[in-house]
A and B are shown apart, each in its own frame.
Chain A
């Protein structure tokens, strides 16, 4: 607690971790590249946030702790000059092909250069970047372009702090420094799990989501193709941000309409298959619990988490639920049954697209397990929230004002249990609702389990299913998941179900979501959007979803049936051989 003077105005501070936060809280701003409120290791590298502090000369505000009586000026001749020099120097060493850059319009370097009025001549005073480094587009998930990298280290810290992986690191020194995977390998051969958190914090176009919009446009424009689309729970509460709406605003019906307007022939909701996941995974869990199966059971919705296990702990994959992720379940259901309901859709002309908050889903869709006999994959293209927003804009669709529509049937209905899949704890909460009723045979009145909610990293909840005690651990980020693995290996784990989502807070904060790295309240707002969707839902328990019930009745018979296994379950494998960590094994 204390007071300081910022630009002549008396400002209060409480527990802000640095002067920068105090500045921002009090209605001022200073530019930053390397500062990210959700990353804890303050880096102090970009020096854009320098301010003048009386008696202390010029300091980076991001690494200066607030102190009583400080007198701060954020916009003096000196600090402006330093910031301009930094921008000029960065631009001189930058691939300045802005117009064709994936980050154009969203780029912080571009934004500040414009605000500070940097001219071409200012940049040309300095030695210009000469040779372009090769672009790494080896992975399905992300593209690395070191020519756009300003070495702010945000990606390095994200990979380390969130995921504990350290896939990206600084190599070489001084002006020869580059950020790259170990020993100069490309992303595809690194330990990258594709979570995209690096791209989510990248201020420039150095790390971007690999875009498949052109391929999807082509399919949409092809009159001979029937393009079927599904979208994930977390997409609906974030998409609006890219159209000037508040984070958390539920766009389900508007998105349904927009997708039809874009030319998608059938629009389904991944929430439907989330309900299906609860059926399959719930029954699998009860089965393991009753019949001495491998416990704790690991959720398998998150592709980053699955890949992490296959790469780093292949001895643990038998803990994973054999259930496919909701995306993959929907993919196989669409392939298998849509032609039965819609005769114009055939095996040959069906194109399956999914829209995800997640970059890892792009790689998941290309798993060998989901390869079809004809060499194609069950899901042809995975787009992120960012990409679909761009397509909607390009098509000139007024998303804000478009009239909402329902998804197509029969696989378009969803319950509140499904929609909260998008936030950490949601899968566990949804599973608990169904498990309770299945195990006890009684109706669950109060469906909300508050202890499972919230975006914080670790939650442990004990459930009492009328005498059957079940302990659930919920974590997000792989850094936390790794701790759980250690617990289990040391025999210290006392829980039977482990829910893991790789992104901090869950899918709402996935690598494919609209960029929100300067505002840590956004993921909370998105989470609230999903909880609200749940609260307003007609059904709130997965087994009550009428479309799910019909699917079992007509096609799958019962959860974990032979047919269900064929369509909705999968296998896991040791993937160390795909990655440099296998060297020497």
Chain B
């Protein structure tokens, strides 16, 4: 098909425009950094002289509010690519110093540089920070590098080029072939081959069909989809348009959770901008391909991330999963063939189309191609959003990208895949992480949550925490999930409360297996994973809680006692004065004692004791 625009020409124009921006100062305006005050940082920079040619080396400076860089813990991040510098933890009050000292005088502000936790050295360059060094960014490639609210900047980095090519070539089957050949698999957790899904849906071409983007990212601690929607919304929109072109759809929905207001705002703007440029809407780029895109805000139910529940929710029904079959590819939204893909999956599409299936397939393992984003948190030095090739080992993630264990703690386990995933231990540190290996090990890629735990983490409490989440989020439709998660939680609670009995372990195990196999949807089928995997690898810890009434990690308050060491106590009375429940008593200059019946185990006494005389047991 002939198009009425030349995308390469548009690209050139946008790049030229960007070149005129002078010194680009990238300030992260992702949710995390905004919470840390990045909007004020931006304002301060602009006050100081953005767009004013008071500089020597550059005729002007442009402040670019970008999407998330992933290193949220170190926010607010300020990156000046032309000066090869990344500043971390920047406050409004630091801006003047950066401006005056570095931008004007060329003297870097060392105190705002990232400090390597292992070497204690300052690191200048972004790519030299260990957190970034081992990453391969494809889906996140533009996040943090362009102004997320500016379609021209997206075009400058080859945005909509793949869509233009696809429409021009007018061979939807070839698009599906490319995606199939690339080996891309669903990034939402299931890992279903994307190309095959497209082909199934395309087989029902003819009438009305839909493309739906699942942006209902609900796993606690996961924010990869949010980052893409906030940081590079055009990539997602382009991916959806390519998908719609391939399967013959003319309408689409992005289902975003309402807890992502910034993502919604940026997506709305991006859609409006794309429509204005005729990259969306009727007769895109002058072709006969039309694609209307809507945003549907979720209402806070985790289960709506399950595709059939998500469809029900868009239709205005209660967000409850429906049995499959029929699969959405045959009978989805409003009873029509529907392609549902996750944000990250769709964001990979334009990149694959531009660089070719082979380029993508070179990354990753035999059956899991490309890269995967993970939200790395827990007891590691560097936490944040990362993107690594499939097949990267846990060791690389924890000890290289993550910069090792925090405060010299000992590595114990990793909970991967959020509440639906499982626990992996030291023995799994060197297995290449991909869909199949993780399933084999009893966990799953899931949405990519990665919580690193140390020996100070109670594994039973971790299982209880995740079970509390899933049971709260169970929709209540099927009995195994509704009643089963409730009772698994009750048993776990009983164990951490120190009231567990040995029979509880067996009951828990049977329950977990039957909920896993008997539940209707993915939520219930995976909810027992944290229980099953922790029981598999850490049964001793469960038994210690039950038999010895002892929490080996010293976390469960029901099993901890605070004791004052008579030898060390000087009788200063500071602990007694600070105890909120008056559980500590004694005589000045004599050892004090704690009344265990009154003690609420808050730990205030420990932090107040100048002689480290109070021990937690």
Contacts and interface: CB of A to CB of B under 8 A. Distances in A.
Real binding pair? yes
Nearest to B480: A47
B483 A90 contact: yes
A262 interface: no
A44 B323 contact: yes
B507 A127 contact: no
Contacts of B116: none
Given A126-B487, A174-B473, A150 B517 contact: no
Given A60-B520, A85-B510, A90 B479 contact: yes
B472 interface: yes
| Interface hub of A42, A46, A47 (most chain B Cβ within 10 A) | A47
Size bracket of the B interface: 35 or more
B520 A85 contact: no
Nearest to A83: B518
B361 interface: no
Contact of A47 (B472, B490, B519): B519
Contacts of A63: 323-325
B549 interface: no
A62 to B, nearest CB: 8
A177 B517 contact: no
A176 B476 contact: yes
Interface in A58-90: 58, 60, 63-65, 78, 81-82, 85-86, 89-90
Contacts of A153: 477
Contact of B325 (A58, A65, A176): A65
A43 B472 CA distance: 22
A47 B479 contact: yes
Contacts of B503: 125
A52 to B, nearest CB: 10
A554 B370 CA distance: 94
Interface in B571-605: none
B518 A173 contact: no
Contact of A86 (B324, B473, B513, B518): B518
A212 to B, nearest CB: 34
A172 interface: yes
Given A126-B487, A173-B301, A86 B480 contact: yes
A92 interface: yes
A85 B507 CA distance: 10
Contacts of A85: 480, 484, 510-511, 514-515, 518
Contact of A60 (B323, B471, B510): B323
A63 B515 CA distance: 18
A82 B480 CA distance: 8
Interface string B367-387: 000000000000000000000
Interface string A388-411: 000000000000000000000000
Contacts of B476: 151, 170, 172-177
Interface in A29-56: 42-47, 50
Contacts of B478: 44-47
A122 to B, nearest CB: 10
A57 interface: yes
Contacts of B514: 81-82, 85-86
B475 A82 contact: no
A92 B487 CA distance: 10
A47 B475 CA distance: 15
A150 B471 CA distance: 17
A89 to B, nearest CB: 4
A89 B517 contact: no
A175 B518 contact: no
B518 A82 contact: yes
B518 A58 contact: yes
A46 B475 contact: no
Contacts of A230: none
Interface in A118-160: 125-127, 150-151, 153
Nearest to B486: A175
A273 interface: no
Nearest to A91: B483
B482 A175 contact: yes
B483 A175 contact: yes
Contacts of B325: 63-65
A332 interface: no
Contacts of A46: 478-479
| Interface hub of A64, A150, A173 (most chain B Cβ within 10 A) | A173
A403 B99 CA distance: 107
A386 interface: no
B190 to A, nearest CB: 15
Contacts of B322: 44
A560 interface: no
Contact of A174 (B471, B490, B520): B471
B480 A177 contact: no
A86 B490 contact: no
Contacts of B517: 50, 57-58, 78, 82
Contact of A125 (B323, B475, B507, B519): B507
B318 interface: yes
Contact of B474 (A47, A65, A173): A173
Contacts of B487: 89, 92, 126-127
Interface in B69-109: none
Nearest to B322: A44
B309 to A, nearest CB: 11
| Interface hub of B473, B477, B485 (most chain A Cβ within 10 A) | B477
A93 interface: yes
Nearest to A175: B486
Contacts of B474: 173-175
A47 B518 contact: yes
Interface in B459-480: 471-480
B518 A44 contact: no
Nearest to B475: A173
A170 B477 CA distance: 9
Nearest to A87: B479
Contact of B483 (A89, A170, A173): A89
Interface string B505-547: 0010011011101111000000000000000000000000000
Contacts of B510: 81, 85
A65 B330 CA distance: 14
A175 B475 contact: no
Nearest to B488: A126
Nearest to A170: B318
A125 B320 CA distance: 29
Interface in A1-52: 42-47, 50
Contacts of A93: 483, 486
Contacts of B301: 173
Contacts of A170: 318, 320, 476
B529 to A, nearest CB: 16
A565 B514 CA distance: 65
Given A86-B480, A89-B483, A176-B476, A127 B471 contact: no
Nearest to B521: A44
A78 to B, nearest CB: 7
Nearest to B478: A45
Interface in A486-527: none
A90 B484 CA distance: 10
A92 B483 CA distance: 9
B479 to A, nearest CB: 5
B329 to A, nearest CB: 15
A45 B520 contact: yes
A50 B514 CA distance: 11
A92 B507 CA distance: 14
Q: Which 10 A/B pairs are nearest by Cβ-Cβ distance? A: A177-B476, A63-B323, A44-B323, A89-B483, A85-B514, A82-B518, A127-B490, A174-B474, A175-B486, A174-B476
Given A60-B520, A63-B323, A78-B517, 4 more contacts: A45-B520, A81-B514, A82-B480, A174-B473
27 contacts: A43-B323, A44-B478, A45-B520, A47-B520, A50-B517, A58-B518, A60-B520, A63-B325, A81-B513, A82-B518, A85-B511, A85-B514, A86-B483, A89-B487, A126-B487, A126-B507, A127-B486, A153-B477, A170-B476, A172-B476, A173-B473, A173-B474, A173-B475, A174-B472, A175-B471, A175-B474, A175-B486
